[in-house]
Amino acid sequence: MNHDFHEPGDMHEPLYVTRPYMPPLAEFIPYLEQIWQNRQLTNAGPFHQQLERELANYLGVEHLALFANGTLALVTALQALRITGEVITTPYSFVATAHSLLWNGIKPVFVDIDSVTLNLDPEKIEAAITPQTTAILPVHVYGRPCGVERIQRIADIYGLKVIYDAAHAFGVNESGGSLLRHGDLSVLSFHATKVFTTFEGGAIVCADAKMKARIDHLKNFGFADEVTVVAPGINAKMNEVQAAFGLLQLRHIDEALAGRQRVDALYRELLKDVPGIHCVPHPDSERHNHSYFPILVGSEYPITRDALYEKLREHSIFARRYFYPLISDFPMYRALPSATHANLANAKSAADAVLCLPIYPDLSTQDVTMVTNFIREA
Binding interface with ligand T4K (CB under 6 A): 16-20, 69-71, 93-94, 96-97, 139, 165, 167-168, 189, 191-193, 202, 318, 322
- Whole-number minimum distance, CB 186 to ligand T4K, in Å? 11
Q: Which is nearer to ligand T4K, 189 or 276 (CB)?
A: 189
- Whole-number minimum distance, CB 292 to ligand T4K, in Å? 8
- Whole-number minimum distance, CB 68 to ligand T4K, in Å? 9
Q: Which is nearer to ligand T4K, 18 or 369 (CB)?
A: 18
Q: Which is nearer to ligand T4K, 119 or 276 (CB)?
A: 119
- Whole-number minimum distance, CB 245 to ligand T4K, in Å? 12
When CB distances to ligand T4K are compared, the closest residue is 70
Q: Which is nearer to ligand T4K, 6 or 168 (CB)?
A: 168
Q: Which is nearer to ligand T4K, 76 or 189 (CB)?
A: 189
- Whole-number minimum distance, CB 209 to ligand T4K, in Å? 25
Q: Which is nearer to ligand T4K, 144 or 217 (CB)?
A: 144
Q: Which is nearer to ligand T4K, 292 or 301 (CB)?
A: 292
- Whole-number minimum distance, CB 214 to ligand T4K, in Å? 21
Cβ-proximal residues to 64 (8 Å cutoff; 6+ apart), any chain: 52, 55, 56, 203, 204, 205, 206
- Whole-number minimum distance, CB 110 to ligand T4K, in Å? 15
Task: For residue 294, say if its preceding peptide bond is cis, omega within 30 degrees of 0.
Answer: no
